[in-house]
Chain A
Amino acid sequence: MTLAAAGMIVFGMLAVTPGDPARRVLEARGVTEPSPAAVAAVRAELRLDDPVVVRFGRWAADAARGDLGVSWRTGRPVADEFATRLPATLRLAAAALVLAVGMALLLGTAAAAAPGRWPDVLARGIALAMLVVPSFVLGVVLLDVVVVRAGLGRVIADGTWSTVFLPALTLALSSAATWSRVLRTSLLEAGSSTHLLVSTARGASRRRVLVVHQLPNAAPPFLTLVGLGTAALIGGAPIVESVFTWPGVGRYTVEAINARDMPVVVGFTLIAVVAYVAASLVVDLVCAAIDPRLRSGR
């Protein structure tokens, strides 16, 4: 459903983009003053003169098979261009996701373990600081101080695991901050329910109550947010990838936007939406698996 709606919106953008695609394609191939005959030939080649509905059907069918069209800039298939860059972005997103969830769990539980006392204040302060520093500012500073001055790592990231830490950390911070705040709130909410009182009365330690009883109950809102946040990670990837010259799809898309290479932009949007929908699905399944209330219905 979401995918279909997204497909329509994205194709709509492609269709209403000002300028004649055929002319763009020719200009991208180095023809500066295309003759009307050449433009007509490309129009026929791309079958641009068919009705919009027919073009949408063909485009959707192609996209479903993984064919995202041809880049206006390089003339190569968009899917191939993405295929070479996607592993780097997935690596970055996966590392960022792990870092963000780890930091959020740490800060959120530390804050909720002693509400109002110093670990809480400290954790909330750290979360606020992580939230307000823009990733592109932090990235530039980290790159210079850690990589150039201290000589750790490489200036030009090559997209492998060995260089992933700094970009992933930069990408993860703001998400981790938001998630830790939500986790703290839902932990505290879960902490007020009566079955915890019973567990405590039966002699469970505070830490055990927090981790074994409170955390699973607080998990669904947190996981939902993490699922949505995956979208934020994908959306944030263009910025972080550009700062760290990370060879992923985000940076490639920014270049494509500057060159007005629409098939690439559309392809990126589709990939992001698919990733987003997939993440929501996974989150729903995981929630059902860990939340005792959702499980007991079976």
Chain B
Amino acid sequence: MSAGILTRAGAPVPRSLPAGTTRELLRRPAARVGLALALLLAVSALLGPLLLPDPNVPDYTDQLAPPSVAHPLGTDQQGRDLLARTLAGARTSLGAALLVMGIAGLVGLGVGTVAGSVGGIVDTVLTRLTDALLGLPSLVLTLAVVGMLGPGFWNLVLAMSVTSWAGIARLARSVARGAERRPDVVAARMAGVGRLRAVLCHVVPGAANQVVVATTLGLGEAVLALGGLSFLGLGAQPPTAEWGTMLAAGRETFAYAPWQLLGPGLGLVCSVAAAALVSDAMRDVTDPGRRT
């Protein structure tokens, strides 16, 4: 979806994922490329920092060195190895995006399930709140929340979580509302299963399935938005290695040290590409009407 509108999670996701979705997905070259990219990013974010030197140790004898064997991506203004910083930044940026979507997914699942299962006035209030949040441009809202809390990594993560759960809540609510008359839920209720238990054991797992899909699809946008806001100086503060912050530093020296942009720029491009390819293929596979 659009890079600007954050995780509306309005992606058409069917009631439940048909069997064989994974195999169908893996048959598509675009999905394979996307998944391979995602795997590569995950592995390098997890293992990279273990194998490389400390990304925060400055070396003032070796500032702004071009790429070489010792520093494959060169060094920055303070002589820090950019490959190490890029991989440490992958941890920060991708980890933050995972955290944001994780929080948004949990809150959305909770709010949506409660609204859909309890109904009545609770449903009305929660749905109004969700609609109000969805009615606002989310990047603008994120900016407002950051403005309120003040710039900083955790504040940015919090602001993005606050503004990303509404779409997920709407999705979870629609699943929960339809669930009451679903055969398995009716059977469970008739067998004497309590209402709370029926919701927890039968409705939530079904909704969770789709929430996981929707949050995964939102990851690319989350990475991009986090990077953009950090680039503006509203997120992680130096010396933390984070892609947006690194790009902001690289922007100042681009005229004579363009390699500073390479690592974090490529990281962002790969992350967004992976998310876009996988989500496209997923939509094709799960939505036969749109298959082209």
Chains A and B form a bound pair: yes
Q: Are B135 and A2 in contact (CB under 8 A)?
A: yes
Given A178-B3, A233-B4, A257-B234, A13-B272 contact (CB < 8 Å) = no
A residues 231-277 with Cβ under 8 Å of B? 231-236, 238-239, 242-243, 253-254, 256-258, 260, 262, 265-266, 268-269, 272-273, 276
- In the bound assembly, the distance between CA atoms of A220 and B234 in angstroms comes to 37
Stretch of B17-25, B101-109, B223-231 at the chain-chain interface: B223-231
- In the bound assembly, the distance between CA atoms of A63 and B114 in angstroms comes to 35
Secondary structure class of chain A's binding surface, majority of residues: helix
How many A-B residue pairs have C-beta atoms within 8 angstroms? Tell me.
159
- In the bound assembly, the distance between CA atoms of A42 and B135 in angstroms comes to 35
Q: Are A185 and B228 in contact (CB under 8 A)?
A: no
How many residues of A are in contact with the other chain, CB < 8 A?
58
Secondary structure class of chain B's binding surface, majority of residues: helix
Residues of B within 8 A of A137 (CB): 247, 261, 265, 268-269
- In the bound assembly, the distance between CA atoms of A141 and B269 in angstroms comes to 14
Does B5 belong to the interface (CB within 8 Å)? yes
Q: Are B2 and A229 in contact (CB under 8 A)?
A: yes
Least CB distance, A118 to chain B, in whole angstroms: 16
The 8 Å CB contact of A9, one of B136, B234, B244, is B136
- List 30 interface pairs A-B (beta carbons < 8 Å), by A numbering: A2-B136, A6-B135, A8-B132, A13-B148, A17-B148, A116-B292, A134-B3, A136-B247, A137-B247, A140-B247, A144-B255, A175-B3, A175-B4, A178-B1, A178-B2, A185-B292, A229-B5, A231-B5, A235-B139, A235-B143, A236-B4, A238-B232, A242-B231, A257-B151, A257-B234, A258-B151, A260-B150, A266-B144, A269-B140, A273-B136
Give B contacts to A, CB under 8 Å: 1-5, 128, 131-133, 135-141, 143-151, 224, 227-228, 231-234, 244, 247, 250-251, 254-255, 258, 261, 265, 268-269, 272-273, 276-277, 290, 292
Closest 6 CB pairs of A and B: A232-B4, A235-B139, A231-B137, A265-B147, A5-B132, A174-B3
